[in-house]
């Protein structure tokens, strides 16, 4: 499992934005390591788009806290899930995340796997998913990471990460 002081793995992730009036062009692929180069990035991950805790508490908490997080020095907030970029975009639109949180698809679970932060939820019909966590990355290096115990939502919320930044 990734830990404080480790460099992010060089994995491709995907983002899709369907701007009003623009033609739909497939998801944009990017290297997570390159995206975090020379920036302070907060990455939080969750088991799945449109799931109860994720939709009702996790993402909305980061949207609400985004101004304070940016004021504390965060350049970008990324929400990652083992869903495709189209689903992540639709979910972000439904939650009205705007520019506060970038909704990122880890459709094949490669990023979650490279971090050592997957969980098998096949018994509940969900397949392999990401564990719930949040991490602070400064210039590609993990400065802080909080991984939730199974079924919990106590340490990866926006308020906890704000407390770490202060």
Known catalytic residues are 54
Q: What angle do CA 10, 88, 74 make, to 5 degrees?
A: 60
Q: How far apart are CA 74 and CA 136, in angstroms?
A: 9
Spell out the residues 6+ positions from residue 153 whose beta carbon is closer than 8 angstroms to its own: 53, 57, 58, 132
Reference 121, options 165, 68, 81; nearest CA is 81
Strands 128-130 and 76-81: unpaired
The SS3 of residue 67 is helix
**Cβ-based neighbours of 16, under 8 Å, separated by 6 or more:** 26, 27, 28, 85, 86, 88, 89, 105
């Amino acid at each position: 499992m990734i830990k404080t002081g480790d460099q992010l793995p060089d994995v491709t992730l995907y983002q899709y934005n369907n701007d009003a009036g623009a033609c739909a062009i497939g998801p944009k692929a990017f290297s997570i390591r390159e995206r975090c180069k020379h920036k302070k990035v907060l990455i939080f991950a969750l088991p799945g788009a449109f799931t109860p805790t994720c939709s009702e508490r996790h993402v909305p908490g980061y949207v609400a806290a985004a101004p304070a997080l940016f004021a504390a020095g965060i350049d970008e907030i990324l929400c990652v899930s083992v869903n495709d970029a189209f689903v992540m975009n639709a979910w972000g639109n439904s939650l009205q995340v705007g520019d506060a949180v970038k909704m990122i698809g880890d459709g094949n679970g490669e990023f979650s796997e490279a971090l050592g932060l997957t969980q098998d939820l096949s018994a509940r019909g969900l397949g392999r998913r990401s564990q719930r966590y949040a991490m602070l990355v400064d210039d590609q290096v993990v400065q802080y990471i909080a991984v939730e115990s199974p079924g919990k939502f106590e340490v990866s919320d926006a308020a906890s990460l704000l407390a770490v930044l202060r």
